[in-house]
Amino acid sequence: MRNQLWFLIVIIALGLLLSIHSQAKIQSSVQSEIKATAANQIIELNKYLGGAEGKLNNKPALNFKFTNASGSPENTCSIITTDNYLRHSKNRLENINLSESNFYFDCQWNGTYYFLSNRYRTYAEVIIKQPDSQFPMSMHIEAKLVSLTGERVEIISGDISLRRKPR
């Protein structure tokens, strides 16, 4: 009986140690995620640089370029979408973890290339606001991208007019 009691105490102690170890790993993982989120860079786009025709997956596409108020030529973000996807998107372009092959978003910012990935949680969403008598066509952009080194960046914008302003 004494041996059974001792064996039961050892099993309970081992279970408690494993539980404490698991909780420590979970807490460490959560803290790492919080640090990674806190370290995210935020880029606010507010200037349309222009558009061009091109190709995406060998289909006719449109390419739109944006930057921020500084307008630095080495800091740009690009939207490229096929004509067909743009026409049938109901004014909302979306790509989550590279789920959409007809729409892509990336940025070249301060010497780092940021992109959509299927290995990390990334997404890009563009809401297109159609023109009316008061306002030109505009785009609202939100994205979370990653670099080759795992650095994350968040892209935000207000409504950016697609009318190019004279330089």
- Write out pLDDT tens, residues 140-159: 999 999 999 999 999 999 99
* Cα 142 to Cα 156: distance, rounded to the nearest angstrom: 5
Q: What DSSP designation does 114 have?
A: E
Minimal CA–CA distance to 101: which of 84, 127, 81?
81
- Chain-centroid distance of CA 52 in Å reads 23
Residue 34 pLDDT > 50: no
pLDDT in tens, 73-132: 789 999 999 999 998 999 999 999 999 999 999 999 999 999 999 999 999 999 999 888
Share of the chain above pLDDT 90, in %: 60
Q: Count CB-CB contacts under 10 A for residue 144.
A: 19
- Alpha-carbon dihedral of residues 70, 92, 107, 50, nearest 10 degrees? -50
